[in-house]
Every structure is written in structure tokens, then in C-alpha cells.
Structure 1
């Protein structure tokens, strides 16, 4: 089963990369048909190195900046402080089951001991 999942994930990754290669070829074809480079039509995948040595990437016109996005999302989650009903119900149920199991084990241990 694990081999199948690995093969499936590999195949999906190859197909995913193939989609981007196809989009890049279509972009080049559009530029070739126009006869000039149109700045309003950005390439689907754009990767370059900035002056300070960092890699910058853009996917379908959206810049990818994981470090800033992760820090921003982490800050949003810390500020959110929402109440999760199902989490609290699950914690209450777990503590109730734990207490009941402990009571039953103690009860039977005392019953068979004496």
C-alpha cells in the first residue's frame, strides 16, 4: 500500500510540474503569435535571484514569500483566540471517560482484593 501511495504521489508531482511546463510553453506561443513581448501578460512561473542573494518566485502573477506569510498567519492565529465548541466537548468527554474507567478499575480491584 505504501508503494502505491508513493507511486501515486510521484505521478501527481510529475503531472503538476507538467502543467506548469505546458503553461510556460503556451505563454511563449502567445508571445510568438503577437510578435512582441507584452508586459500585461506575465509568465506563469517566474523565478529570479535578488541583489542580496535571495530567491524570489512568482506563480501566476502572485509573489511567493513563505517567511512573511507564515509569520503573518501565526500572528493572526495568536490574535484570533476563538472558542472551539467541539474541542471543549471532546476534552470534557475524554476526562469523563478517564474518570469512569479509573473508578471501575478501582472498584473491581477492591472487590477482588477483599
Structure 2
């Protein structure tokens, strides 16, 4: 089962990288076919290094660590109280204590 999962995730990663490379090659082909640069056509993935900071863009959207921090804060605010999560924790605690009591009764 472990080998299957390993192969599955390796193939999944290869396919994802292939899709990104294909998008980039298609974009370059469009630029070559037109003969000039059109600002409407953007690179699928671009990484710019200006010495101090590294800027990454994915499908024209800039990705920065500030965006990731903001998304993390939003996620923490959203999951501050999750009804199903709290119910699941209580159920798991109840099952754990019940199984401990049952085991202690059986062993005595």
C-alpha cells in the first residue's frame, strides 16, 4: 500500500509539473506565432529575483509571503470555532474514556 501511494503521488507531481510546463510552452508558442509581445499574454509561472526579495507569479497573480500570512490569519479566524471539530473531539474523548474503563473492568 505504501508503494502504491508513493507511486501515485510521484505520478501526480509529474503530471502537475507537466501541465505547468505545457502551459508555459503554449504561451511561448503564442508569442512566437504573433511575432510581438502582447501584455495580455502572461507567463504561466514566473520567478523574479531582484537580490533582496524573490517575487513569484502564478497565472498572472503575484504570490508573496504577506498573502500567505493573511490567508493563514483568515483560516485561523474561520476555524476559531468549528462545531463539527469540537463535537468530534468530545466524541473521541468519550470513546477513549469508555474504552479505558472497559479495559480496566476486564483486566480486574
TM-score w.r.t. length of structure 2 = 0.73
**1:112 aligned residue:** none
1:79 Cα shift?
A: 4.2
Gaps of 5+ in 2: none
Query: How many angstroms does 1:90 deviate by?
Result: 3.4
Of 19-28 and 73-82, more deviation after overlay is shown by 73-82
SS at match of 2:41: coil
Structure 2: distance between partners of 1:81 and 1:21: 35
- Residue 91 of structure 1, CA deviation: 4.2
Give the number of the structure whose alpha-carbon radius of gyration is greater: 1
TM-score by length of 1: 0.70
The 4+ residue runs of structure 1 with deviation greater than 6 A are none
Aligned-partner Cα distance in 2 for 1:19–1:81:
33
Alpha-carbon displacement from aligned partner over 1:33-56 (angstroms, at most 9, x marks no partner): 11111112111111120242x322
Q: How many residues align?
A: 107
- CA distance, structure 2, for counterparts of residue 93 and residue 105 of structure 1: 20
Comparing 5-14 with 72-81, greater Cα deviation is found at 72-81
